């Protein structure tokens, strides 16, 4: 089987959708859903996560994009029944995600749900995101740890950073965005087409990207989801990278805001 052709209906347990061109398309046939999991040295965790996703969403295609792991993540992912794209070397979290977006576009998928491979994003919240994507008719739904009465414990400095960028991007976009750094998202093909372009960051697709999405006129909303604490000592932000992260996001946010909607990337 060169490319899996299994599908999952979005309407399992989801509320009735509103009117809209995209939704009419989804209703006319069973949309093809791809669960996308970027992975870097997740050997101890990836197998259990994939089995959980398979259990809750049997028949749904799962793609693991391995970003140059040094451990046995690839073998474990294949053993757990996932399709695997193996990058030849470490490119970055954003580049790994974009590899999956391009795969989904070429493979004819209608919807992609992306989640982290470290178990931080519970598999039982996938349905929540899919339901919200269908109900809202938005191009992108972002799982938020901080919406509603959810409580999620994160270290003080990181919470400060998320809070700072949340306030900044909310101010620049003129709407509230509570969790701009969340990687737990569901999106349609329109968003995939936008994200597959060259501007997509290699490393941190965060608040600056949401601002760009906003300026492009693509619709997005946040959806309250539960998230778990990541495994100890396993974070993208270690060593000097938090300093670069803050610098990069501030620079990128500033330039995106300055550019505004001057250089709109054409949507297909």
Partner 1 sequence: MHIAPLLAALILLLVVGELVRRRRLREEFSWMWILAAGGALVLSLSARSRELLGKLLGTGDDTHTSVIAVALLFLAGICLDLSSKVSRLAGGQKTIAQDLSRLRKEVRDLRRDEEAS
Stretch of 93-101, 116-124, 153-161, 187-195 lying at the interface with partner 1 (CB under 8 A): 93-101
| Residue 44 half-sphere exposure toward CB, CA atoms < 13 A | 4
Should residue 198 be labelled a site residue for partner 1 when binding is judged by CB under 8 A? yes
**Interface size with partner 1, residues (CB under 8 A):** 31
CA dist., res. 103 & res. 93, Å (int): 16
Among 157, 228, 255, 267, binds partner 1 (CB under 8 A): 255
Q: Report the DSSP beta bridge partners of residue 144.
A: 224
Should residue 237 be labelled a site residue for partner 1 when binding is judged by CB under 8 A? no
We find the least distance from the C-beta atom of residue 84 to partner 1, in angstroms, to be: 7
We find the least distance from the C-beta atom of residue 78 to partner 1, in angstroms, to be: 9
Stretch of 6-14, 43-51, 97-105, 122-130 lying at the interface with partner 1 (CB under 8 A): 97-105
Q: Which is nearer to partner 1, 84 or 168 (CB)?
A: 84
CA dist., res. 73 & res. 119, Å (int): 14
Alpha carbon 113 to its chain centroid, in Å, reads: 6
Q: Residue 1 has which token pair?
A: 């089987």
Q: How many Cβ atoms sit within 10 Å of the Cβ of residue 243?
A: 10
Should residue 89 be labelled a site residue for partner 1 when binding is judged by CB under 8 A? yes
Should residue 229 be labelled a site residue for partner 1 when binding is judged by CB under 8 A? no
Residue given tokens 């620079």 in the structure block: 251
DSSP conformational letter for 123: G
Among 60, 69, 73, 98, binds partner 1 (CB under 8 A): 98
């Amino acid at each position: 089987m060169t490319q899996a052709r299994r599908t999952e209906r979005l309407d399992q347990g989801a509320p009735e959708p509103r009117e809209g061109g995209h939704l009419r398309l989804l209703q006319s046939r069973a949309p093809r859903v791809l669960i996308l999991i970027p992975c870097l040295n997740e050997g101890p965790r990836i197998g259990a996560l994939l089995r959980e996703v398979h259990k809750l969403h049997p028949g749904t295609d799962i793609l693991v994009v391995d970003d140059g792991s040094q451990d046995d993540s690839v073998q474990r992912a294949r053993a757990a029944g996932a399709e695997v794209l193996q990058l030849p070397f470490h490119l970055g979290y954003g580049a790994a995600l974009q590899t999956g977006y391009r795969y989904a576009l070429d493979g004819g998928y209608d919807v992609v749900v992306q989640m982290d491979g470290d178990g931080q994003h519970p598999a039982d919240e996938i349905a929540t995101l899919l339901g919200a994507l269908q109900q809202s008719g938005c191009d992108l739904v972002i799982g938020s740890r901080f919406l509603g009465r959810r409580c999620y414990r994160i270290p003080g400095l990181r919470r400060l950073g998320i809070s700072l960028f949340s306030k900044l991007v909310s101010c620049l976009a003129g709407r509230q965005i509570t969790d701009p750094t969340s990687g737990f998202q569901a999106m349609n093909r329109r968003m995939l087409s936008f994200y597959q372009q060259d501007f997509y960051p290699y490393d941190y697709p965060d608040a600056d990207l949401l601002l760009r999405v906003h300026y492009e006129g693509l619709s997005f909303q946040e959806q309250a989801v539960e998230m778990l604490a990541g495994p100890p000592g396993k974070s993208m932000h270690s060593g000097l990278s938090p300093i670069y992260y803050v610098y990069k996001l501030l620079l990128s946010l500033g330039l995106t805001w300055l550019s505004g909607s001057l250089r709109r990337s054409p949507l297909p």
